[in-house]
Amino acid sequence: MTLTTILAAGVATLAIATAATFLLPRHVTVERSALIDAAPDAVIALASTSEGFQRFNPYLTTDPELTIEPFGPAGGVGAGFRFDGRDGTGTQTISAVTPNVVTYAIDLGAMGQPVQHIRAEAEGDRTRVTWAVESDLGLNPIARVFGLFLDRMLGGTYETGLANIARVTA
C-alpha cells in the first residue's frame, strides 16, 4: 500500500465519520422529576428568585468553590446570576415565569445557550417538580457527539437539585 492510498483512506474515513455525526440529534432534552411535599406555588416562588435558586442549586452541593454573583432584580424576569466553578462559567437568567413554570436562559459562551425549565404541578396532595434542559447542538459534529452523553452528565445533577428542593420546602 502506498502512502497516497493510506492518506486517501484516512481522509475518506474522517469524512464519513464527520458526515455520520449529522445523523445524531440536533436537539437534546434532559429531564428529571420527583414528587415532593410542597405546594406548587411555593416551588415556583423559590425558583423564581436568584436567592431562592441558590437554596437548592445542585452545583453548590457538589462544588463548594463555586462562585455566584447575582445581577438584575431580586426575582422574576431578568433576575439572574453569573457562575464560575469546576463545571463551567456562564450566566443563568430568568426569562419567563408562569404560575407553574420558571424558564431560565443559560449562557455558557462557546459551550452553548441551553434553556432550562422548572415546572411544578399539583399531583394529589403533593407536587410533581420537573427539571428539564433543552439544548440545540447546531451543526457542530463534536457537540452532537457530546449530546449523546448529556443525559448521563446532567441527570444526577438534576436529581440532586430536586432532592434539595424537597429538603428546603419541607
Q: How far is CA 44 from CA 25, 34, 68, 84, 90, in A?
A: 31, 15, 21, 25, 23
Instruction: Return the pLDDT at 111.
Output: 84
Q: Are strands 80-85 and 126-136 parallel, antiparallel or unpaired?
A: unpaired
Q: How many domains does the chain have?
A: 1
CATH number, domain at 44? 3.30.530.20
Residues 95-122, mean pLDDT to the nearest whole number: 96
Q: Does 140 have pLDDT greater than 70?
A: yes
Q: Does 25 have pLDDT greater than 90?
A: no
First to last CA, the chain: 70
pTM of the model: 0.86
Determine the residue type at 121.
E
Quick: pLDDT tens for 82-98: 999 998 999 999 999 99
**In terms of residue numbers, what domain contains 104?**
3-169
Counting every residue written for the chain, the total comes to: 170
Q: Work out the percent of the chain whose per-residue pLDDT is above 70.
A: 92
Residue with cell 451543526: 139
Q: How high does pLDDT run on average in the chain?
A: 91
Q: How far is CA 79 from CA 3, 30, 71, 104, 112, in A?
A: 59, 23, 6, 10, 20
Confidence of residue 2 (pLDDT cuts 50, 70, 90): confident
Judge contact between 90 and 81, C-beta under 8 A.
Answer: no
- Report the range out of 15-24, 131-140, 154-163 with the highest average pLDDT: 154-163
Q: Does 1 have pLDDT greater than 80?
A: no
Instruction: Return the pLDDT at 160.
Output: 96
